[in-house]
Chain A
Amino acid sequence: MTIAGVIDVHGARPNGSDGRPPYLTVAGLEKRFGSFVALSGIDLAIPEGEFVCFLGPSGCGKTTLLRAIAGLDRQSSGTIVQAGRDISDLPPSRRDFGIVFQSYALFPNLSVAQNIGYGLVNRRLGRAAIAARVEELLGMIGLVGSGDKYPAQLSGGQQQRVALARALATRPGLLLLDEPLSALDARVRLRLRGEIRELQRRLGVTTIMVTHDQEEAISVADRIVVMNHGRIEQVAAPEAIYRTPASLFVAGFVGTTNFMTGVRSAADRVRVGGFDLQVTPGDAMGTGQVCTACVRPEDFVIRNVCPDTPNAIQATIEAVEFLGAVVRARLGSPQLPDLPLVADFSLNAVTDLDLARGRAVTVALPPERVRIFAGLPE
């Protein structure tokens, strides 16, 4: 099974992706709500200073996992070790983390400065020391001079910066971000995610961010943990997730993918409908097995395709969608009836080849770009 394979691969690497000792280790974590299994078999190691994203559709368990790490929702079984300390059974107040929520969760009746200093007050710091730290943090988030304002007087982006400063005020070893950008509008979201990334690099604080936005995850994370149905599907660097998805789910969830379901007919052939798709041999799948071939839209080749190019397909452009740098075309082919294909062509190719609705074209799928997985897509 593909999924099991993935966990094997990553579970066997307790030292994280680059050999440093892990700062946070989650082992055998399981969470049940009554008979519903929200998390199962979660094994994860995060080295110090890494920025990790938990990515998955809603209900996949990513927030549950984050809350278990925070101690806000206790796991049913399994262990969590942070900085060599088993924190599995500690209440949140005895753990060492800062957290930022989608809703900001700023105390509305306290000023910005009081919010940021909230966790400092009971740490036996002097008044002056607190004020200095709050000023420092205000500077860090670019809100110098706004200390006396109330949260309601700030924009959403500013509020989330305050929440971030509040979480970092006590210099926690671990920063947890629960969909921190989801409530913001698109442009603020883009800018703030860059700021968060930069701040994280500067402070070197180990960070976990939960998000359902694959683009966000890809752009900020050192590594992405893709989750589905309470399990980890893949843990890898963003490019690896995109280029070599470990499962049908990952292939479908991250980026756009054409799914072509068929039967393995030979070591290097998958029969999709009446079409024999040439693939790269080298997996353990036997002939006659039902499988799904995945191709990214940008992997379609349209220049220099001749009929004997491997996987050449005769198709008609049925619809064209202008996406800016690329044009996305919907292709219909008599060779693959009832299976519309989505292909991206560069703007140059569109101009050069005069691609438009109704044009007949020949495209090719390079076999090395076709990934096949056992089974059917969800």
Chain B
Amino acid sequence: MSPIAIGGRTRSVDREAWALRIALTLMLAIMAAAILLPLWSILSKSVEDRAGAFVGLANYAQFFGTPALAQSIANSLFVAGLTTLIVVPLAFVYAYALTRTCMPAKGLMAGIALIPILSPSMLPAIALIYLFGNQGMIRELLFGETIYGPIGIVMGQVFYCFPHAMLILTTALSLADARLYEAAAALGTPRRRVFLTVTLPSAKYGLVSAAFVVFTLVMTDFGIPVVIGGRFNVLAIDVYKQVMGQQNFQMGAVVAVVLIIPALASFVVDRVVQRRQVALLGARSVPLVPQPQPARDWAMLGFCAVVGAIILGILATAVFASLVRLWPYNLSLGWSNYVFEDFDSDGWSSYFNSLRMAAATAVFGTLFVFVGAYLVEKGKGAGWARQVFHLVAMVPLAVPGLVLGLAYVFFFNAPDNPLGGLYGTMALLTICTVAHFYTVAHLTATTALKQMDPEFESVSASLQVPFWRTFLRVTVPVCLPAIVNIAIYLFVNAMTTVSAVIFIYTAHTKLASVAIVNMNDSGAIAAAAAMAVVITATSAGVKLVETLVSRVVLRRSQRWRAR
């Protein structure tokens, strides 16, 4: 032992503690630069005039005083509300079928319902134009109404939001305490009453959470209205028009701040709900195992089959749209719409940019997220700093991508920002995407780490093994499934996202999702469909590879889990 240690009352040099502290400080600084400072710049921009002078709430007054913009708020609220009312019940029944019945083909149905997550949000909108547009295959079903506007937006959003709501509700419904149902059965309660008094209340928080998530997704999504919104203006489009169309950054910042409100509300509700959800289920709960009821099970299969068919139908329409040479005049099929060079100056290179960006996001994002979560969960000392880190990691969930992208423009494009060199680079797109999807990844990592015995680090210390050795030898291998999950989550989202990156891409770093928007803008809707299909196929392929790999490799490396 070093002589410094003997008899000293002074705090001795503790290499490990310092390593932790330095890592934490460094990562906090990065988090601040990637999340907090850009958001601060957007807030300050919204209270400045064009020359940069402080004008208080004048911009807000002007915003709410402009009838067209105020109309956008009403429009956004309307489509978001309507979508929520449609999606949540649908997703609830679907999730109910998956968790509480003995419906056949559950795995297949669960898989189909997740397809929309693999696609950019523009895909359903494009497919809807082919189905219900003025030349749509089944436009008669709209009885003369136009698809361009609220109808199209809501239909597209229902497709796009469905899996998000379904996942939340599946989780909520799978947390059931069988004892409650046994008690109800013992008391001879009719099924409907059991549903109303046991099932619904236990899923209440899941329903609230799903409703808020869907509402926020619709309020802040930009891909669907840009394709199919027609003359129907919504807030997400306004931000874009103000900033890119009129270079009115101040007004764009105002709209962005307004857009944060529903996301923030949903975030707060979600936090509260999650806290209560935990309390709802005691450690003594007995998991509910559904019993077969043929009539109900087949009815549920019928319902899920219809929903699944619609999802697959929309996907198939997009694929078809991408293959038809000239809809509706030349119906021969071919790959001509996949020759992106004919429609967009960047051609296929934007797709490869996307691949590169998604790969970088998955690799570096996962690394950062996991190390950050480790410091938060397992770090010692500097308790406040770890709490701050955790709080900052929660922030992106409350920030729509559109707002984050805009914030990046303001922050990184400011002439006096020493980080300005990042502007226009692939690195910045990667940082932005990691930041955009940080929270879910962070929560996945912390959940995995929480499940590890909290005393591993103490044991290592007592054995005089440095913490980083235990991190690499034990923590990472044990959390490998979660780490793979995070990487896939980041990759798929990086492939499909458009809202944040559309503000910060440049000529060299155009992404596939941006190319979809551009091609759609210039009328090349078939090529846009083709690119959307390519993105979906890529996400699905990665997901497939992940499934196969986890079957083989993970099973081998996780052999120790078996009893």
Within the complex, are A and B direct neighbours (CB within 8 Å)?
Answer: yes
Query: Contact residues of A with B, CB < 8 Å?
Result: 70-72, 85-95, 97-99, 101, 103-105, 107-111, 118-119, 121-123, 150-153, 166-167, 169-170, 172, 176
A103 to B424, CA, bound (A): 51
B560 touches A109 (CB 8 A): yes
Given contacts A86-B7, A107-B470, 18 further A-B contacts (CB under 8 A): A70-B458, A72-B461, A91-B14, A92-B458, A93-B461, A105-B458, A107-B478, A108-B478, A108-B560, A108-B561, A109-B474, A109-B560, A110-B473, A118-B465, A119-B465, A152-B561, A166-B459, A167-B459
Looking at A85, A105, A150, A166, the one whose CB has the most chain B CB atoms below 10 A away is: A105
Chain B residues whose CB sits within 8 angstroms of the CB of A92 once the complex forms: 458, 461-462
- Docked-complex contact B474 and A94, CB < 8 angstroms: no
Pairwise interchain contact A109-B455, C-beta atoms closer than 8 A: no
Q: Which residues of A contact B464 (CB under 8 A)?
A: 93-94, 119, 122-123, 170
Assuming the contacts A105-B456, A108-B478, asked whether A90 and B5 have C-beta atoms less than 8 A apart, the reply is yes
A-B contact pairs, 20 of them (CB 8 A): A85-B5, A88-B9, A89-B9, A89-B10, A89-B12, A91-B12, A94-B2, A97-B462, A98-B462, A99-B458, A105-B456, A107-B470, A110-B473, A118-B459, A118-B465, A121-B465, A122-B466, A151-B560, A152-B563, A170-B463
A94:B1 contact, CB within 8 angstroms: yes
**Who on chain B is nearest to A172 by CB?**
B462
Task: Report B441-475 CB contacts with A as 1/0, cut-off 8 Å.
Answer: 00000000000010110111111111001100110
Q: Tell me the B29-46 residues at the A interface (CB within 8 Å).
A: none
- Distance of B71 from chain A, by nearest CB (Å): 52
Question: By the criterion CB–CB under 8 Å, are A91 and B455 in contact?
Answer: no
Asked if B12 contacts A99 (CB within 8 A), the reply is: no
Q: Which residues of chain B are within 8 angstroms of A176 by Cβ–Cβ distance?
A: 462
B11 at the binding interface (Cβ < 8 Å): yes
Of the candidates A110, A152, A166, A167, which one forms a contact with B474 in the assembled complex, judged by CB atoms under 8 Å apart? Answer: A110
* Max chain A C-beta neighbours (<10 A), residue from B462, B466, B469: B462
| B residues neighboring A (CB under 8 Å) | 1-2, 5-12, 14, 16-17, 453, 455-456, 458-466, 469-470, 473-474, 477-478, 558-563
Give the nearest-CB partner of B381 in chain A: A74
Most A CB contacts (10 A, CB to CB) among B12, B465, B478 go to: B465
**Taking the nearest CB of chain A, how far is it from the CB of B185, in angstroms?**
32
**Cβ of B377 to closest chain A Cβ, rounded Å:** 15
Chain B: CB-nearest residue to A79: B9
A163 CB, min distance to chain B CBs, angstroms = 8
Question: Can you name the residue of chain B whose Cβ is closest to the Cβ of A99?
Answer: B462
Task: For B558, list chain A residues within 8 Å (CB).
Answer: 109
A150 CA to B5 CA, complexed, in Å: 38
- For residue B1, give the distance in angstroms from its CB to the closest CB of chain A: 6
A89 to B458, CA, bound (A): 16
The interface centre, meaning the residue of B463, B466, B477, B478 with most chain A CB atoms within 10 A of its CB, is B463
Residue of A nearest to B11 (CB): A89
Given contacts A86-B8, A101-B458, A103-B453, contact A109 B563 (CB under 8 A): no
Nearest CB in chain B to that of A91: its residue: B14
What residues of B have a CB within 8 angstroms of the CB of A108 in the complex? 478, 560-561
**Which of B5, B455, B460 is A94 in contact with, Cβ under 8 Å?**
B5
Chain B residues near A152 (CB-CB < 8 A)? 560-563
A314 to B514, CA, bound (A): 95
Contact of A118 among B12, B463, B466 (CB under 8 A): B463
B16 partner residues in chain A, CB cutoff 8 A: 91, 93
